[in-house]
Amino acid sequence: MAQKRKVMRALFDNIETLTTEHILSSDILKKLIVTETPKAISHAHKNKGTYASIFEINNSKFFIEIHKKDWLAALESCVVFNVEIEDYENCQEINALIQEIKSSKRSPKIKIKSND
């Protein structure tokens, strides 16, 4: 059974006028993304999900999500950000997750069924 993960909620004032530039210029939002992305991907990976939910926009039931095919690139971006702020402990944790995801892609899943 898949475990539930409490997804963070990003609260925006005047969401009707929100632009990409506002989002990209927000240090608070960048930190939220870099902090929550590895958690969300780890959770989705462990629960065999297709999407990792990073955060919910306001209380709208609309989520910022990352598709499985983009997880490695997202995690590598998080590593770059953490190197820039010299948070090497987080870099190690994220790199371990990257290796875990890569190794699970490589190893074939073999099921053996007994005819007993």
Is 4's pLDDT higher than 80? no
- End-to-end Cα separation, the chain, in angstroms: 28
Of 29, 40, 43, residue with least CA distance to 74: 40
- Partnered with residue 10 across adjacent β-strands are 57
Q: What's the CA gap between 108 and 78, in Å, rounded?
A: 28
Count other C-beta atoms under 10 Å from residue 61's C-beta.
7
Give the mean model confidence (pLDDT) for residues 78-105: 95
Is 86's pLDDT higher than 60? yes
Query: Mean of the per-residue pLDDT values for the chain?
Result: 87
What is the per-residue pLDDT across 19-61, written as a single tens digit (0 to 9) for each?
Answer: 878 777 888 888 889 999 999 999 999 999 999 999 988 888 8
Instruction: Please name the residues in contact with 46: beta carbons below 8 A apart, sequence gap of 6 or more.
Output: 3
CB 56 within 8 A of CB 107: no
